[in-house]
Amino acid sequence: MNPVLQDRRLIIFDWDGTLMDSIPTICRCLAHAFAYAGLADRGEEQYKEIIGLGLGDALAVLAPEADENLRSRILEGYRNCFFATPAVDMPLFPGVEQTVIALADAGFEIAVATGKARRGLDKVLNENPHLAARISASRCADETRSKPDPLMLEQRLDHYALAPEAAVMVGDTVHDMEMAVAAGVLPLGVLCGVHDSQRLTRAGAALCLPDPRFLLREVG
**DSSP assignment of 62-128, as one string?**
H-TT--HHHHHHHHHHHHHHHHTS-GGGSPBPTTHHHHHHHHHHTT-EEEEEESS-HHHHHHHHHT-
Distance CA 213, CA 199 (A): 21
Is 168 within 8 Å of 157 (Cβ atoms)?
no
Looking at the chain, the whole-number percentage of residues with pLDDT higher than 70 is: 99
Distance CA 212, CA 208 (A): 10
Give the residue among 11, 16, 24 at the shortest CA–CA distance from 120: 16
pLDDT of res. 2: 79
Confidence band (pLDDT; 50, 70, 90) for 192?
very high
pLDDT of res. 220: 43
Is 111 within 8 Å of 13 (Cβ atoms)?
yes
Distance CA 178, CA 18 (A): 16
Confidence check: pLDDT of 219 > 80: no
Query: pLDDT tens-digit profile of 1-52?
Result: 778 898 899 999 999 999 999 999 999 999 999 999 999 999 999 999 999 8
pLDDT of res. 159: 95
Distance CA 47, CA 55 (A): 11
- Please tell me the total number of residues recorded for the chain in this structure: 220
As a whole number, mean pLDDT of residues 90-115 equals 96
Reduced to 3 states (helix: H, G, I; strand: E, B; else coil), residue 186 is strand
